[in-house]
A = this chain, B = another copy of it.
């Protein structure tokens, strides 16, 4: 029970699709929702992968998420759209939002879509990557439950509010996908499990002062007792924590404010309403210059950064997305590793719904 198991991508996809279907999600939507989760596992972002399936099962059962896509385009112009997600699955709404942005970019060079009343949409990079694959610079952002404390504050007011930007190259695209906090909550949980103190500059206690106790921070966050994770740049202004805080706020502007949604503090106010909002953008490269030339120059920039001299003791400079694409290739070949706890929770769900486990 303690070792990691490897499951095939196709097997894992089939399992998740069938679970979603048992919960009333139509096949194409079950497929999209699964794709987003499994891509996270393929890219070694397990915290956003199938480990979250129990939360989706729970959300669908409790009515936090609607099984059928109830999202509607409320307002649209040639290059902009406002979508009300109708409490549908975040992945389904997200996919619909980015697809619309890409269609507008193809017809009118740009497409920007803001989305309200949605749910957790998984990895931000899934959507920006959709745009890069269609010859666009892709932009994907979402707000999230409050975990992050603004500079000089003591209460968590912002989500980890990720920003993803992707751009096509000759080989793998550039794919930045970053929380605007210094670290995601998952890293605090790992330190807690391993009984390790946090590095100073990751989190603050309920009085807004730096703490190295992961247990204290996680408990405070769970009870909304104050404190939380610090924005990218850390505590105060010495390492420019105000910049991470500003980026978190910019994400709220584009997701929540532009869509007329509450910001992080208004999310998950009760179990029937997540109120998560997103923002998607697609900018057609061809609106500015030939795609082929752009891809060539993009590849050349990425190669030259990677090829530049390394710091003492370092043998690799990574370009954003690279680690994920390399994990993806490995896992497609050798299977996706799942920890024993995750595998167990999925088997349990399979048992409940009469869906047989992968292997």
Contact = CB atoms under 8 A, between A and B. Distances in A.
A167 to B, nearest CB: 5
Contact of A257 (B246, B253, B294): B294
B253 A167 contact: yes
Contact of A254 (B137, B178, B249): B137
A112 B136 CA distance: 13
A297 B309 CA distance: 48
A78 interface: yes
Chain B CB within 10 Å — which of A155, A201, A239, A320 has the most? A239
Given A151-B318, A226-B309, A260 B239 contact: no
Contact of A77 (B109, B298, B305, B312): B109
A20 interface: no
How many A residues are at the interface, by size bracket? 35 or more
A153 B283 contact: no
A151 B310 CA distance: 9
Contacts of A320: 242, 246, 249
A82 interface: yes
Contact of A258 (B178, B239, B294): B294
A287 B137 CA distance: 21
B152 A311 contact: yes
A236 B112 CA distance: 34
Nearest to A111: B110
Given A80-B109, A239-B199, A289-B258, A204 B311 contact: yes
A108 interface: yes
Contacts of A152: 310-311, 314, 316-318
A234 B239 contact: yes
A62 interface: no
A74 B263 CA distance: 40
B137 A258 contact: yes
Contact of A288 (B258, B265, B316): B258
A310 to B, nearest CB: 6
A320 to B, nearest CB: 5
Given A208-B312, A310-B208, A112 B114 contact: no
Interface in A266-300: 283-285, 287-289, 293-294, 297-298
Contacts of A80: 109-110, 283-284, 287-288
A268 to B, nearest CB: 17
Contacts of A178: 240, 243, 246-247
A280 to B, nearest CB: 12
Interface string A222-235: 00001000001110
A169 B207 CA distance: 30
Given A112-B287, A183-B240, A253-B298, 7 more contacts: A79-B109, A137-B258, A165-B246, A176-B243, A209-B311, A232-B232, A242-B320
Interface of A: 75, 77-80, 82, 108-110, 112, 114, 137, 149-155, 157, 165, 167, 174, 176, 178, 182-183, 199, 201-202, 204, 207-209, 226, 232-234, 238-240, 242-244, 246-247, 249-250, 252-254, 256-260, 263, 265, 283-285, 287-289, 293-294, 297-298, 301, 304-305, 308-314, 316-320
